[in-house]
A and B are shown apart, each in its own frame.
Chain A
Amino acid sequence: MSQTMSSAKRREGLFSNENRRKITWVLFLLPALLIYLTFMAVPLFDSLRLSLYQGEGYTPTTFVGFQNYIDLFTNQLWRGKFFGAVRHTFIFFAIHMVVQNSLGLLFANLLSSDFKGRNFFRTIIFTPATLSVLVTGFLWTLILNPNWGAVNKILVAMDLRQWALPWLGRENLALPIISLVSSWQWVGMPTVMFLAGLMGISDELLEAARIDGASEWDIFWRIKFPLLKPIIGIVSILTFVDNFNAFDVIYAMAGARGEPSYSTDLLATLFYRTGIAGEHPVGIPNMGMGAAIATVTFLILMAGVLFWLYLSRRQLAEEA
C-alpha cells in the first residue's frame, strides 16, 4: 500500500493524490470482482431468470411468469415433495446442531486441557473430515448393511437380534442414521473452531476463577461459554448453510431419490432430480422447476442468515 502511495505521490497527472487513492482500491478489487461476476453472480441471476421459464431440455424457452412457483406450492405432488424435503432438511440440520456441534464443543473442551496423547486424539477426531463423503458414505453403507454389515453382526452376536434392523431401509430410521454418519464425519470442524476459541481465552481469567474456588463446571458455563458465543454463532451459521446445501452424503447412502420412499429427500437432492438429472428411467430434467426450487432454497438460507445477522447485531449493541 505504501509503495503505491509513494509512486502516486511522485507522479503529477490528471488526478490529485487524493483522487488517486480513491481509485487505486478499485483496481485491487477488479480481478476478484470480475471472477466473481462471471462465475457466481451471472449464473445466480441467470438461474433466477430460468425459474420463470418452462420447456424441455437445457434451454427452456417458454416464459411462464411465476407458474413454476405456483405449481411448487399448489400442486399436490410438488407441494408434498417440496415440503417433505424442507422438513427433512430441517431435521438433518437439527441433528447436526445437536449432535455434531455439542460433541464438537465437548471434544474441544477436553482437547484444550493437557494430557498424554492429546495430539493423537486431535488427529483422530479430524481425520474423517479429510475423507471424501462418497467414500465414507459407501463405507457406512457397508457397515450398516443388513446382510453382512458389522453393526448387525455385532448385535446378533450379542443376542440382540431384534435390534438388528435394516437401518437404511426404514423411513423413520434412515434420515437420523445418515445425519449421524454425517455428524461423525464433520465433527472435527466445530472441534477445531471451538478449540481455537478456547485457546484464545486468557489463562489468567481461568486461574483467577480457580483461585476464587470456581468448579470446572462453573468455569465452563460462566467463563468459557460466554466467551465462545461469537464462535458458536459462526459454527451455527456454517452448519446451517452446509446442511441446507447438503447433497453428497444422501446421494452416497440413499441415492438421488432419497430412498427409502423419499424419506431422506433433502432440498438439494430434490433440486438435483428435478433440475439436473431427471427421474429414472426417463431422465429428462425440468430446468425451470429446478431453478424455482433452488431459488426458494436460497431464500430460506438468506432468511436464516439475516436472522443470525440480526441476533449478532443486537448482541453487539447490548455489549456496547
Chain B
Amino acid sequence: MKNKLFVMLSVLILASLLLSACGTPATEAPAVATEAPAAATEAPAATEAPTAEEITLTLGSWRVDDVAAWEVITAAFHEEYPNITVKFDPTNPPDYNATLRTQLETGTGPDLYFVRSFATGRELFDAGYVASLKDLPGITDTFSDGSRAPWSTEDGESYAVPIIAVSHGIYYNKDIFAANGIEIPTTWEELMTASQTLLDAGIIPFANGTKDAWDINEVVMMQFIPSNIGGYEGRMAYLNGERCFNSEEMVASFQQIADMQPFLPTGFEATSYYDSAQLFAQGQAAMMLDGSWSIGPFEKDATDFEWGVFYPPALEGKDQYVTFHVDAAIGANAASPNLEAAMTFLEWLESPTFAELLGNNLPGFFPLTKDVPTLSDPIAADFMAFNDAAKGVDIRFVWEKLLAAPSGNVDAYTSLNNNVIAVLKGEKTPQEAADAFNSDLAAWYEPAAGCAP
C-alpha cells in the first residue's frame, strides 16, 4: 500500500515537473508585464498640468550592461521633449527574444524596443507587432540603404530605426609586442610569424577559446571571411548561388582557423569567452580577437599595460574588408497606446545629438547615421578608422538569409560554428569542414541547391 502511494506520487511529481515546464511561459506573462501597467498609471496622475499630457514610454532592450549610458541618452531626450519620459528596461540577452515575444503576444510589450536584424526582427514585423515607419520623416535621408536593409522589407519599407553597429578586431598588448620586437602585422603570414615568436617566448599568442562556442564563430571566423570572399559583393555571390559554400575562399577561411590553432591557450577547448578576456586583461595572452563592445570592459580591467587594436590582416594578395555589423535598431510597438510619442522618440534617434550621445557614452557601439560624429574614445576612433582604411565593410557572413533554417535542418550559424570547432580540434581538415558547411546549406537554402554534393 505504501509503495503504491509512493509510485502514484512519484508519477504525478515527475509528470508535473516535466510537462508543466511547457505551460510556464503563459503563466509567467503577468509577472513580466507588471512594468507596463505601472507606466500607464503614471500618466493620469500627471494630467493636472494643463499644457501637455505627460507620457512615459518603456524601452525594451537586451543591453543590460548599458543602463547608465541609456539613462544619459533618455535624459537628453526628456530635456528636448519635457512631456515624454523614456524608461530603459532591459532583459537578460539570452532571454530577450523569448521574453519580448511573450510580452507582445499577451499585449504587454514595451512601447519601444530593440529589434534584432534580419529574420528575427522581420518575423515580428510580419506578425504585426512592430509599427511600420514608412511615414517617419527623414528615415531615408539619415541612413544609407545598406544600414536600413536589415530592418526593411524588399520594397524598402522600414520598421525600425538603425542605431547601433559593432566592429571587430584584434586587441593587442603593446607592452608584450614591444618587448618581443613585434610590429603590427600587415599580412596574415606576418601575423603567424609574430605568433610563433610569442609562443617561443612562452607567451600565449591568442586568448580565444571554444567553450562558449559563439565567440570563435562571431568574432574570429566571421572576421576572416569578408577579406577572403571580397566583402559584400562576395557575400552576394554566395547568397545568389553563384558560389558554393565550399569555395576556395571558404576553405581559406577555415585554413586560417587551422593556422591559429597552435597559438591558442593550452586547454582552449575549455576556455570560455570570459576566461579569454581575463587572459588578455591580466597580460597572460598577447592578443585577443574580439568585438568593439569589449572596449569598455578592457578599459576597466586591462589597466596594467598599454593596449590597442588592429584589424586581422588579409592573406597575401587579398584586399582587406572589415566586419562592421549592424546590430540593433529600435522599433515601436504597433499596439502601444502612446504610438505618437513613440514616433517622436524614433524621429529624435535620427538626430546628430543622439548619434553623438550614443557613440561617446557607449564606446564600441557605433551610430549608423550617414554623418558619423567624432568619437572621443581613442580605441573606438581606431575601430572607425578600420572602415576608412579597408576596401569595404560588410556585416557578418551568415546573418542575412542564412540564420533561420526550416525545422530539421542546420542553419548556417550553427553549421559554421560546429565546423570551426571541429577544425580547431583536428577532427576535420579545412576542406572537409567547408564541404560539411556546404552540404548543410545546400540541403535547405534554395539558391545553393545546385551545390549539393
Instruction: Report Cα–Cα, A71/B26, bound state, in Å.
Output: 26
Q: Are A277 and B98 in contact (CB under 8 A)?
A: yes
Which single residue of chain A is at the shortest CB-CB distance from B11?
A305
Q: Pick the contact of A241 from B13, B97, B411, B418 — CB < 8 Å?
A: B13
Q: Are A40 and B14 in contact (CB under 8 A)?
A: no
The verdict on A284 contacting chain B, using a C-beta distance below 8 Å, is: yes
Which residues of the other chain, A, contact B269 by a CB distance below 8 angstroms?
A: 146, 166, 169-170, 260
User: How many Å from the CB of B197 to the closest CB on chain A?
Assistant: 21
- Chain A CB within 10 Å, residue with most, of B102, B119, B269: B269
Q: Which chain B residues numbered 11 to 34 have a C-beta less than 8 Å away from chain A?
A: 11-27
Instruction: Report Cα–Cα, A245/B14, bound state, in Å.
Output: 8
Which residues of the other chain, A, contact B120 by a CB distance below 8 angstroms?
A: 281-284
User: How many Å from the CB of A318 to the closest CB on chain B?
Assistant: 14
Interface size on A, as a range, is 35 or more
The verdict on B303 contacting chain A, using a C-beta distance below 8 Å, is: no
Which single residue of chain B is at the shortest CB-CB distance from A275?
B22
Mark A298-318 against chain B: 1 for CB-CB distance below 8 A, else 0: 100110010011001100100
Q: Are B403 and A46 in contact (CB under 8 A)?
A: no
The verdict on A234 contacting chain B, using a C-beta distance below 8 Å, is: yes
The verdict on A248 contacting chain B, using a C-beta distance below 8 Å, is: no
Q: Are B403 and A281 in contact (CB under 8 A)?
A: yes
Q: Pick the contact of B98 from A78, A281, A283 — CB < 8 Å?
A: A283
Q: Which chain A residues numbered 142 to 174 have a C-beta less than 8 Å away from chain B?
A: 144-147, 152, 164-170
Q: Are A261 and B418 in contact (CB under 8 A)?
A: yes
Which residues of the other chain, B, contact A84 by a CB distance below 8 angstroms?
A: none
Which residues of the other chain, B, contact A170 by a CB distance below 8 angstroms?
A: 269-270
**DSSP class of B's interface residues: helix, strand, loop or mixed?**
helix
- Chain A CB within 10 Å, residue with most, of B97, B123, B214: B97
Q: Are A245 and B17 in contact (CB under 8 A)?
A: yes
Q: Pick the contact of B21 from A144, A164, A271, A316 — CB < 8 Å?
A: A271
Which residues of the other chain, A, contact B13 by a CB distance below 8 angstroms?
A: 241
Q: Are B22 and A294 in contact (CB under 8 A)?
A: yes
Instruction: Report Cα–Cα, A50/B411, bound state, in Å.
Output: 25
Q: Are A284 and B19 in contact (CB under 8 A)?
A: no
Say whether, besides A275-B22, A301-B14, A308 and B7 are in contact (CB < 8 Å): yes
Mark A31-69 against chain B: 1 for CB-CB distance below 8 A, else 0: 000001001111110111010001011110000000000
Q: Are A316 and B404 in contact (CB under 8 A)?
A: no
The verdict on A195 contacting chain B, using a C-beta distance below 8 Å, is: no
Instruction: Report Cα–Cα, A223/B310, bound state, in Å.
Output: 73
Say whether, besides A58-B102, A305-B11, A169 and B211 are in contact (CB < 8 Å): yes
Q: Pick the contact of A147 from B96, B271, B403 — CB < 8 Å?
A: B271
Which residues of the other chain, B, contact A77 by a CB distance below 8 angstroms?
A: 408-410
The verdict on B344 contacting chain A, using a C-beta distance below 8 Å, is: no
The verdict on B336 contacting chain A, using a C-beta distance below 8 Å, is: no
Which residues of the other chain, B, contact A164 by a CB distance below 8 angstroms?
A: 266-267
The verdict on B210 contacting chain A, using a C-beta distance below 8 Å, is: yes
Q: Which chain B residues numbered 165 to 181 have a C-beta less than 8 Å away from chain A?
A: none
Which residues of the other chain, B, contact A102 by a CB distance below 8 angstroms?
A: none
Q: Are A297 and B18 in contact (CB under 8 A)?
A: yes
Q: Are B123 and A56 in contact (CB under 8 A)?
A: yes
The verdict on B57 contacting chain A, using a C-beta distance below 8 Å, is: no
Say whether, besides A58-B101, A59-B105, A147-B267, A44 and B408 are in contact (CB < 8 Å): no
Q: Are B410 and A47 in contact (CB under 8 A)?
A: no
Q: Are B20 and A40 in contact (CB under 8 A)?
A: yes
The verdict on B275 contacting chain A, using a C-beta distance below 8 Å, is: yes
- Chain A CB within 10 Å, residue with most, of B101, B212, B422: B101
The verdict on B95 contacting chain A, using a C-beta distance below 8 Å, is: yes
The verdict on A287 contacting chain B, using a C-beta distance below 8 Å, is: yes
The verdict on A257 contacting chain B, using a C-beta distance below 8 Å, is: yes
Interface size of B in residues (CB-CB distance below 8 Å) = 63
Q: Are A50 and B22 in contact (CB under 8 A)?
A: yes
Q: Which chain B residues numbered 269 to 305 have a C-beta less than 8 Å away from chain A?
A: 269-271, 275, 278-279, 284
The verdict on A289 contacting chain B, using a C-beta distance below 8 Å, is: yes
Which residues of the other chain, B, contact A180 by a CB distance below 8 angstroms?
A: none
The verdict on B41 contacting chain A, using a C-beta distance below 8 Å, is: no
Q: Are A289 and B17 in contact (CB under 8 A)?
A: no
Q: Are B6 and A278 in contact (CB under 8 A)?
A: no
The verdict on B143 contacting chain A, using a C-beta distance below 8 Å, is: no
Say whether, besides A283-B94, A283-B98, A147 and B265 are in contact (CB < 8 Å): yes
Q: Are A284 and B97 in contact (CB under 8 A)?
A: yes
Q: Are B95 and A277 in contact (CB under 8 A)?
A: yes
User: How many Å from the CB of A73 to the closest CB on chain B?
Assistant: 12
User: How many Å from the CB of B268 to the closest CB on chain A?
Assistant: 7
Instruction: Report Cα–Cα, A164/B254, bound state, in Å.
Output: 28
Which single residue of chain B is at the shortest CB-CB distance from A142?
B275
The verdict on B232 contacting chain A, using a C-beta distance below 8 Å, is: no
Which residues of the other chain, B, contact A78 by a CB distance below 8 angstroms?
A: 408
The verdict on B3 contacting chain A, using a C-beta distance below 8 Å, is: yes
Q: Which chain B residues numbered 380 to 422 have a C-beta less than 8 Å away from chain A?
A: 403-404, 407-411, 413-414, 418, 421-422
Q: Pick the contact of B212 from A58, A144, A255, A297 — CB < 8 Å?
A: A255
Which single residue of chain B is at the shortest CB-CB distance from A237?
B10
Instruction: Report Cα–Cα, A58/B24, bound state, in Å.
Output: 11
Q: Are B11 and A43 in contact (CB under 8 A)?
A: no
User: How many Å from the CB of A122 to the closest CB on chain B?
Assistant: 25
The verdict on A265 contacting chain B, using a C-beta distance below 8 Å, is: no
User: How many Å from the CB of A159 to the closest CB on chain B?
Assistant: 16
Q: Are B16 and A44 in contact (CB under 8 A)?
A: yes
The verdict on B192 contacting chain A, using a C-beta distance below 8 Å, is: no
Q: Are B271 and A44 in contact (CB under 8 A)?
A: no
Mark B115-130 against chain A: 1 for CB-CB distance below 8 A, else 0: 0000110010001000
Between-chain CB contacts (< 8 Å), 6 pairs? A40-B12, A40-B15, A43-B20, A275-B22, A287-B22, A294-B18
Q: Which residues of A contact B (CB under 8 A)?
A: 36, 39-44, 46-48, 50, 54, 56-59, 71, 75-78, 144-147, 152, 164-170, 230, 234, 237-238, 241, 244-245, 255-257, 259-261, 271, 275-287, 289-291, 294-295, 297-298, 301-302, 305, 308-309, 312-313, 316
Which 3 pairs of residues, A with B, have the shortest CB-CB distance? A146-B267, A169-B269, A43-B23
Q: Which residues of B contact A (CB under 8 A)?
A: 3-4, 6-7, 10-27, 94-98, 101-102, 105, 119-120, 123, 127, 209-214, 265-271, 275, 278-279, 284, 403-404, 407-411, 413-414, 418, 421-422
* Beyond known contacts A241-B17, A302-B11: 7 more, CB 8 A cutoff: A39-B16, A40-B16, A145-B271, A241-B13, A282-B404, A298-B19, A302-B15
